[in-house]
Chains A and B, each alone.
Chain A
Amino acid sequence: MAGETLLELKNLKTQFFTDDGVVRAVDGVSFEMKRGETLCVVGESGCGKSVTARSILQIVDYPGRVVEGQILFHRQRQEEGKSEVNEIIDLAALDPRSRAIRDVRGKDISMIFQEPMTSLSPIHTIGDQIIEAIRLHLPVSKEEAEARAVELLRRVGIPRPGDRLNAYTFQLSGGMRQRAMIAMSLSCNPSLLIADEPTTALDVTTQAQILDLMRELKDEFGMSIMLITHDLGVVAEMADDVVVMYLGTVAEKGDVDSIFHDPKHPYTQALLRSIPKLGLRAQGIRLDSIRGMVPDPYNRPGGCPYHTRCDDFMPGLCDKITPPPIEMGEERLVRCLLYGDQKAMADQTQQTVKVR
């Protein structure tokens, strides 16, 4: 099972059509996920990592929508009387309101969010919301669903799960809420769990517990996890593979070791330099930060989106050419003009200028 492809994003573009113009939140993102792996998507706020995650389930908030690209999901279906059937569906091609996409949501792919307080309804009980998720996709009676909900709550480590079924979110602590949220997301044995900054709103000890829980559950339920985060510590702890995003594009991707030990893209390098380390202060070294700000989403810089903040900026190249994905060994990819044949690229620019 492991090693098989689960999800492929191909040139995904999601745009927001606002009064002030079009925001290209996700601008041609491609990557692949394997069954049973944990993929971390990292980047600063506003880099499009959350929108990418939401695009997969087609739950991008109005006025945003997926405008281009493919989201190929390899679904295993147990059909009646037959053995497992493997089918590939393009989620990007489905109508966001259609039955087909709703069948995937919560069943094959489920999602948990950053703010467990606001991500659960304040006026419905935990049990109500979990049972709803179960009964939506599985043909079970109310009692069976309830029993399953209790079982799930117990599994995610909520004490006295039977009582908690009737609790409201405001009666639980932050950690407990996120556990309830995870229980809900597991209710139909999804093959992919998308976790959008699941620990950001929690305190540090609770964070660690939740991450541990997710790792355990991943193996137990045999699912893959796509973890959206800005926290490189979380990435180091959880990831098999890493996708680094900047301004709606993939800057670099690779397995966790090569990303951390041999970052190629100047942005990844800068990100890694900005992690605080113990003892630096005693040595009189100041923490690095990436200079400048993320550019205005309405006015994306031309060429490489990172060139306005890049230390290795090459005038005439980086602000003119959009870097193509450059393969750097197996499963490793970087989009930066420092790598690959610069002269060929420069020629390419000449041509594109002429064409215009």
Chain B
Amino acid sequence: MLQFILRRVFYMIPTLFVISLVSFAIIQLPPGDYLTSLVASMAATGETVDRAALAALEQRYGLGQPVYVQYWKWISGILLHGDFGQSFEWNQPVSTLLWGRLALTFMISLFTLFFTWIVAFPIGIFSAVRQYSWGDYVATIIGYVGLAIPNFLIALILMYVAFKFFNQSVGGLFSPEYQDAAWDWAKLWDLFKHLWIPVVIIGTAGTAGLIRIMRANLLDELHKPYVVTARAKGLSEERLLLKYPVRVALNPFVSTVGWTLPALVSGEAIVSIVLSLPTTGPLLLRALMSQDMYLAGSFIMLLSTLTVIGTLLSDVLLAWLDPRIRLTQ
């Protein structure tokens, strides 16, 4: 098992390297470099440009030097000093802007993951066991519709309904009085009161997809010979169902974390923009719009990295659940 985990971690390294390359490319893609933008923005606000500071920055980022030198300076800054560069729009180091929002993003994504599981698992089982029943049709239709509505549209409609009929705003994660307050239990409770709205919105598509997967997996398993064997032993249908086919169908279900997690993080980004949540989405959009590329690039890199780590965790969980993976590799 330990060997398995080590190997997976080892496999992850090239992926992370490529992620850093892509993020760096995104930073580099817009015409002009960071300094030019900085000078332009300082000139626009009427600040005087400090030549010495400029030279220091040029040295710091290796500007004007070959691309690989710039990449090395950038990535080593991150790895060795946790220095993600400077956001010129906010005039702050990227790292101070990053972590709080990233934490909220992943909290929402994880909650959504649990939400989708809790909802999809029983419905999927029901749908498969009572195939072609009323409940199955309803679940299937909800599933299709859930997949077809873009996240942001659900968010918009929900906002409209809340505004029009309840005269309430559903945006944000905190009530105004807690907005800038320090963390305490009251603030945490306030957060949870707001959290369910984005969780449900982001979870819709994922839940729909998972119901379909659980249903299909279980339908495959329900007619396997080992189920007949278990039935021939004299097990009751309920015990049999939970012990054998559901348990076997759980494995591909767990392995879907590998792609639901990226989808959830994606969904979170766009929904939080609509609902103006204080997470990565709005800040990333703003950074991209104003070409604040160190901030944008860092966000993309960290979102991807954390997703890859999440996928790794789900792989480990899967190996723990499934002896075929654990023992044959």
> What B residues does A120 contact at CB under 8 A?
226, 229
Q: Which of A148-179 contact B (CB under 8 A)?
A: 168, 170-171
The distance in angstroms between the C-alpha atoms of A61 and B244, with both chains bound, is 16
Given contacts A123-B324, A168-B327, A170-B328, contact A59 B224 (CB under 8 A): no
Q: Which of A98-128 contact B (CB under 8 A)?
A: 102-107, 110-111, 113-115, 118-124
Q: Bin the interface of chain B by size.
A: 20 to 34
Contact of A123 among B232, B237, B251 (CB under 8 A): B251
Most chain A CB atoms below 10 A, which of B230, B235, B321: B230
Contact of A121 among B223, B236, B244, B321 (CB under 8 A): B244
Question: Is A61 in contact with B234, judged by CB distance below 8 angstroms?
Answer: no
Q: Which of B285-329 contact A (CB under 8 A)?
A: 321-324, 327-328
Which of A36-44, A130-138, A227-235 touches B?
A130-138
Question: Is A121 in contact with B248, judged by CB distance below 8 angstroms?
Answer: yes
The answer to whether the Cβ of A97 comes within 8 Å of any Cβ in the partner chain is yes
Question: Is A122 in contact with B234, judged by CB distance below 8 angstroms?
Answer: no
Contact of B248 among A102, A107, A123 (CB under 8 A): A123
The answer to whether the Cβ of A57 comes within 8 Å of any Cβ in the partner chain is yes
Question: Is A110 in contact with B225, judged by CB distance below 8 angstroms?
Answer: no
Q: Which of B38-65 contact A (CB under 8 A)?
A: none
Most chain A CB atoms below 10 A, which of B224, B229, B324: B229
The distance in angstroms between the C-alpha atoms of A133 and B247, with both chains bound, is 18
Write the chain A residue with the least CB distance to B231: A59
The distance in angstroms between the C-alpha atoms of A113 and B324, with both chains bound, is 22
Question: Is A106 in contact with B234, judged by CB distance below 8 angstroms?
Answer: yes
Question: Is B226 in contact with A121, judged by CB distance below 8 angstroms?
Answer: yes
The distance in angstroms between the C-alpha atoms of A61 and B222, with both chains bound, is 10
Question: Is A110 in contact with B324, judged by CB distance below 8 angstroms?
Answer: no
The answer to whether the Cβ of B228 comes within 8 Å of any Cβ in the partner chain is yes
The distance in angstroms between the C-alpha atoms of A86 and B233, with both chains bound, is 23
The distance in angstroms between the C-alpha atoms of A154 and B19, with both chains bound, is 55
The distance in angstroms between the C-alpha atoms of A102 and B229, with both chains bound, is 13
Q: How far is the CB of A80 from chain B (nearest CB, A)?
A: 21
The distance in angstroms between the C-alpha atoms of A265 and B2, with both chains bound, is 65
The distance in angstroms between the C-alpha atoms of A105 and B228, with both chains bound, is 11
Question: Is A123 in contact with B235, judged by CB distance below 8 angstroms?
Answer: no
> What A residues does B235 contact at CB under 8 A?
102, 132, 136
Write the chain B residue with the least CB distance to A137: B234
Q: Which of B203-244 contact A (CB under 8 A)?
A: 223-226, 228-237, 243-244
Write the chain B residue with the least CB distance to A60: B228
The distance in angstroms between the C-alpha atoms of A107 and B233, with both chains bound, is 8
Question: Is A121 in contact with B230, judged by CB distance below 8 angstroms?
Answer: yes
> What B residues does A122 contact at CB under 8 A?
226, 248, 323-324
> What B residues does A132 contact at CB under 8 A?
233, 235
The distance in angstroms between the C-alpha atoms of A170 and B325, with both chains bound, is 11
The distance in angstroms between the C-alpha atoms of A103 and B233, with both chains bound, is 9
Q: How far is the CB of A72 from chain B (nearest CB, A)?
A: 20
Write the chain A residue with the least CB distance to B228: A59
> What B residues does A133 contact at CB under 8 A?
233-234
Question: Is B225 in contact with A118, judged by CB distance below 8 angstroms?
Answer: yes
Write the chain A residue with the least CB distance to B227: A121
Q: How far is the CB of A19 from chain B (nearest CB, A)?
A: 10
User: 18 extra interchain contacts, Cβ-Cβ under 8 A, other than A107-B234, A170-B327?
Assistant: A57-B232, A102-B235, A103-B234, A110-B233, A111-B232, A113-B228, A119-B225, A119-B226, A122-B226, A123-B251, A123-B321, A123-B322, A123-B323, A133-B233, A133-B234, A168-B323, A168-B324, A168-B327
Lowest 3 A-B CB distances belong to which pairs?
A105-B234, A106-B234, A106-B233
Chain A residues within 8 Å of B, Cβ to Cβ: 54, 57, 59, 61, 97, 102-107, 110-111, 113-115, 118-124, 132-133, 136-137, 168, 170-171, 181, 184
Q: List 7 A-B contacts (CB under 8 A).
A: A97-B236, A113-B225, A118-B224, A119-B225, A120-B226, A137-B234, A168-B327
Chain B residues within 8 Å of A, Cβ to Cβ: 223-226, 228-237, 243-244, 247-248, 251, 321-324, 327-328
